[in-house]
Structure 1
Amino acid sequence: MTYSTLPASAGIIGIGTSLPRFKLEQDEVFQRIEASCTQDSDIMRWARRIFRQCGVDTRYTCEPDFLEPAGDCRYLPGHEEREVPSTSERMRIYERESVPLAAQAAREALEDAGLQSSSITHLITVSCTGQFLPGLDSILIKDLGLSPRINRIPLTFQGCHAGLKAVQLAKSLVESADSHHVLVVCVELCTIHFQPPASREALFGASFFGDGASACIISKVSPGQKHVFQLGDGHAVLVPDSDAEMIWRVGDHGFDLYLSPAIPKLLKSFVGEEVGHLIGQESLPFLWAIHPGGRGIVDAVQDIFGLSDDQVSYSRSILKEFGNLSSATILFVLKRMRANLIDQGVSYAEGISLAFGPGLTAELLCFSYVQSISNDQMADKEKAAYV
């Protein structure tokens, strides 16, 4: 047994994802932005380069207004007289659209795990793109038929790393009692916070964020379960003197995002040490589930550890097809990875997952893919717990 599976009694046994029905082509998004920005040619030259280099081809949005002809979109008005949506209007859209996406992903995760909703003991809901009360957790209890006595844990306004944070929290809950079954649901509607192109910061966020939801079931692994991600050691770290590199604040017309172009360089300065702290003297694993916060982040991790293109292909393909879905993204990556491992007939492989968010915060978690949990593996794990 190795660093990633001792004494890993918790595992992801089901994953679900969902997307809104409106698809955005990257070229078309840029054309709409270009049509709405008629005053600053320098900003548009910068935007053209960012849109071409960010690694995104398509994204999805809950807001059909983004499909309006160039200049007519309320979020990107072609003239100053048109009023962009207020924060309160955007929150109403979030309340209306987030629930069905979250419920769809959760139902898929439950079906994938082969569990009834009545089996779930803990519900962790994750989102940073909207808020309302009674919250998403309360509504999902009714929509999914969960117990009204379920333990609810909302993680709100934490950022892109919160999906992996929820997985780590769920692991701890499952390992505290054999009867615990945790449902994690992440939903993000990033596009409702698009801003008129008045600054480079606004355009940077508009270039690669998308909407979507993901969910997973984390439970104690048992013999006979198939295609499981066993969860091992993990930790989070707050990077010193980096709080100004990623800022997310509530503004009058949606949430205002600032992302520093120095983030990939910062990652190179500390991620290697943190991975070393996590795995000790063990060799690097083969599987890498990297949150694709942007092309530069995936590039940085690949360079630090000398990873092959195949090893980062899951993160790059999710970014290319769906954009950055904030907290929901990491489960999209793991779902894509699992599907590929199943297709290849892989029986066992070790991995590490990384996600980054405001703070700067980094989440790191070891895991192992197991094609089928055997009685021998469970016996080995029980022995290891007493060593």
Structure 2
Amino acid sequence: MTSRIHSLETAVPDAVLRQVDARDLFARQAGLSRLGTRLIATAFDASGIEQRHTVIDELVAPRDSPLVDADGGIRPAPTSERTALYARYAPALAIDAARRALASASVAADEVSHLVTVSCTGFVSPGTDLALVQALGLAPSTARLHVGFMGCAGAFPALRAADAYCGADPEAVVLVVCVELCTLHLQATDEPEQIVAMSLFADGAAAAVVSARPAAGDALALDGFLTDVLPDSVDEMRWMVGDAGFVMHLSSRVPGHIGRGIRTALAPLLPEGPQAVDAWAVHPGGRSILDHVEDALGLPETAMAPSRAVLSDYGNMSSPTVLFVLRELLTGGARGTVCAAAFGPGLTLEAARMRVEPAGSRA
């Protein structure tokens, strides 16, 4: 039996942070070196991002709060305060995306057999998984799995687990929900690696319904998964829990490592080569990453257009972002073979081969 994604839906916070305003906010922080100020201007202006969404609306309209003071100064709030904000805001965003996904797939709550949640930006227990069960009216017996701290590539282990559940039980219906609140961990800094991270990350959620049942509308059949670790890159991307929030170390060498390694890494998943792929859903970890993937695989500029559109409108939301790109492909009428890929700490490459099944078709 072939598992398929029946629906993909997304949700973002209401507050919109324009990239030019984010740049100016960070450049005004006290204690920045002259070099740090220049790096902020360069990183933010070259990001390919027009706007981002955030649960911290005081970043848009400064007022006194745990993370931002009334003058727009970013406070060094302890991780405990940031975690409390995660517990307040993450469930609602996840529930919004999940409710939309169930409705889009015409799946009732009592049909869901498995729930897989993904997040790397906050941890509480009981957490978002139980909040989803209760808010959506899922059965208390719904099997739950959480994929934690796997970074931007976290959606792929979740989809792989969903595929395995459906392979074991053709009647399984799996709800996959990714939610990330990256802006909870924004920090005033003049460290080059962290400045790049501050220029990229945003908040959002995405949900998918996966089942081997026939789909009512267009669906994405799951034809295979791949995991690989790119050579000599273990220290190039790190995501760690710090005392004043989670800390991202993002080396400027990451795009080059991806460009040098991606063609070889994808070969087992794409034995016919990249030219056999009709549509690409590459996680927009940054503009330079998309440029390097495009060049390394010999793709036309149009191949990365959905990824660039998501980057421009939403920024890098970590794990949900590639699902935003897949949704962009489906709503844009993509057909044929799809290759989706994302990159996480390691550097770990996660990828999947998919196939668009138009409404009414059967595997």
CA shift at 1:69, angstroms? 4.5
Distance in 1 of aligned mates of 2:229 and 2:161: 17
Aligned pair count reads: 361
Give the conservation status (yes or no) of the 8 Å contact 1:238–1:359: yes
* Counterpart residue type for residue 358 of structure 1: P
Matched, 1:120 2:107: no
Query: TM-score, normalization: structure 2?
Result: 0.95
Distance in 1 of aligned mates of 2:261 and 2:109: 41
Give the conservation status (yes or no) of the 8 Å contact 1:235–1:278: yes
Match of 2:40 among 32, 47, 68: 47
Distance in 2 of aligned mates of 1:52 and 1:178: 49
Residue deviations 1:2-61 (CA, integer Å, cap 9, x gap): xxxxxx611100111101111000111111111114541111111111111111110000
Distance in 1 of aligned mates of 2:271 and 2:285: 26
CA 1:237–1:100: 2 relative to 1, 3 Å: same
CA 1:42–1:281: 2 relative to 1, 3 Å: same
Matched, 1:339 2:339: no
Give the conservation status (yes or no) of the 8 Å contact 1:60–1:211: yes
Cα root mean square deviation, aligned: 2.0
Distance in 2 of aligned mates of 1:30 and 1:293: 18
Distance in 1 of aligned mates of 2:75 and 2:143: 42
Distance in 2 of aligned mates of 1:136 and 1:281: 40
Matched, 1:321 2:313: yes
CA 1:274–1:234: 2 relative to 1, 3 Å: same
Tell me what 2:249 maps to. 258
SS of corresponding position for 2:115: strand
Give the conservation status (yes or no) of the 8 Å contact 1:294–1:319: yes
Unaligned runs of 5+ in 1: 1-7, 379-387
Matched, 1:214 2:201: no
Q: Which has the larger displacement, 316-325 or 280-289? A: 280-289
CA shift at 1:84, angstroms? 2.5
CA shift at 1:158, angstroms? 1.0
Moved beyond 6 Å, runs of 4+: 76-79
Match of 1:234 among 205, 225, 232: 225
Matched, 1:349 2:336: yes
Matched, 1:269 2:260: yes
Tell me what 2:347 maps to. 360
Distance in 1 of aligned mates of 2:131 and 2:172: 21
Distance in 1 of aligned mates of 2:325 and 2:75: 37
Q: Decide which structure has the larger Cα Rg and report it.
A: 1
Query: TM-score, normalization: structure 1?
Result: 0.89
Give the conservation status (yes or no) of the 8 Å contact 1:292–1:324: yes
Q: What is the percentage of aligned positions where both structures have the same residue?
A: 33
Residue deviations 1:208-254 (CA, integer Å, cap 9, x gap): 110010000000142x6321111101111122432111111111110
Distance in 1 of aligned mates of 2:360 and 2:291: 34
Matched, 1:109 2:101: yes
Q: Which has the larger displacement, 276-285 or 122-131? A: 276-285
* Counterpart residue type for residue 263 of structure 1: V
Give runs of aligned pairs for residues 2-81 of structure 1, distance below 5 A: 9-69=2-62, 75=67
Distance in 1 of aligned mates of 2:255 and 2:200: 16
CA shift at 1:165, angstroms? 2.0
CA shift at 1:363, angstroms? 0.6
